Amino acid sequence: MKQRVHGTRPSVHVSIDVPDLEAGLRFYEAVFGFVEVARPFSTMAILDANNVTVCMHEKSAGTKPSPAGADVRRYERHWTPVHVDLHVQDFDDVLGKVRAAGGTIETEYREQGPKPAAFCCDPFGNGFCVIGEAASDE
Over residues 92-123, the pLDDT tens digits come to: 999 999 999 999 999 999 988 889 999 999 99
Q: Answer yes or no: are the C-beta atoms of 58 and 20 closer than 8 Å.
A: yes
CATH of domain 13-62+77-131: 3.10.180.10
Q: Confidence class of residue 18 from pLDDT cuts 50, 70 and 90?
A: very high
138 pLDDT band, cuts 50/70/90, is very low
Tell me the mean pLDDT in the region 35-43.
Answer: 97
pLDDT for the residue 134: 80
- Quote helix, strand, coil % in the chain, to nearest 5: 15, 30, 50
